[in-house]
Amino acid sequence: MNYKTQIFDDSESVARGVANLIEAKAQQHAQSGKALSIAVSGGSTPKALFRLMASEEYSTGIPWETIRLYWVDERCVAPDHAESNFGMTYDALLHYSFIPIENIFRMKGEDIPDIEATRYAELLHHNLPAHEGIPVFDLILLGMGNDGHTASIFPDQLELLTSLKSVEVATHPVSGQKRITLTGPVINAAEQVVFMITGSDKADIVATIVGQSEEAKKFPASHVHDKTGNTEFYLDKAAACKL
């Protein structure tokens, strides 16, 4: 199983590459009358993508009514909290976009974590097609922390990669913050997974994971392989400099 990589000059062009991918997939789905179910990550990298998608440049190219928006993970905070992934997405994209509110499915970080994880899993099983009982997204956008975590699956919680549940409660290893996260089987069941990774601080881990060395196994991101072998790394030159 090989990873595909696309290397861009900078983070803005990584964002444009992903925006163009989403636009093309949404148009393709709209032509066949299908929705496009996307799960997005939080953190700082996707901000540029969301801002670009909210711009005039993509206002007419993306069939917004086709998109069904979900989250890969969420911090257990209120949606208006500075650390909320939904809050970041709202400020950068949703406040300006034309995605119908009924097509936006946020994880409720303000609710009791275990109850919300169960609710969100039930939502996914209701809304999405399933393969061998696992909900299937059309596209999952992942980031990667500089410890090799992805979603909210951290190196000290590798069991979440093989959970029998679709959504679990995770704990940030440093802050202790509770998170709601998709688990490994749901991520790997997706039709396509795209990593958006920028910055030289991630270059060593990117090279280790893409090179699929034995050392890579300690990094959760190395355990992501979507079911069709399409997993792609959208990298800027800084993150790709050790490939």
Residue 155 near ligand 6PG by CB under 6 A: no
Residue 151 near ligand 6PG by CB under 6 A: yes
Cβ(140)–Cβ(187) below 8 Å:
yes
Rounded CA-CA distance 52/200 in Å is 23
Rounded CA-CA distance 54/195 in Å is 20
Q: CA 96 → CA 82, 92, 101, 137, 138, distances in Å? A: 19, 8, 12, 24, 23
* Residue nearest ligand 6PG, CB atom distance: 143
Least Å distance between CB 171 and ligand 6PG?
13
Q: What is the DSSP letter of 153?
A: B
Least Å distance between CB 144 and ligand 6PG?
6
Rounded to 5°, angle at Cα 222 from 216 and 228: 140
Residue 175 near ligand 6PG by CB under 6 A: no
Tokens of 240: 């790709």
Instruction: Select from 97-105, 125-133, 147-155, 159-167 the region that touches ligand 6PG (CB under 6 A).
Output: 147-155
Residue 87 near ligand 6PG by CB under 6 A: no
Residue 44 near ligand 6PG by CB under 6 A: yes
Give the x/- contact pattern for ligand 6PG in 51-80, rule: CB under 6 A.
Answer: ---------------------xx-------
Q: How many CA atoms within 13 Å lie on the side-chain side of 13?
A: 9
Q: Are strands 167-171 and 178-182 parallel, antiparallel or unpaired?
A: antiparallel
Q: Which of residues 182-241 bind ligand 6PG (CB under 6 A)?
A: none
Binding footprint of ligand 6PG, residue count (CB under 6 A): 15
Tokens of 7: 């290397």
Binding site for ligand 6PG (CB under 6 A): 41-45, 72-73, 85, 143-145, 149-152
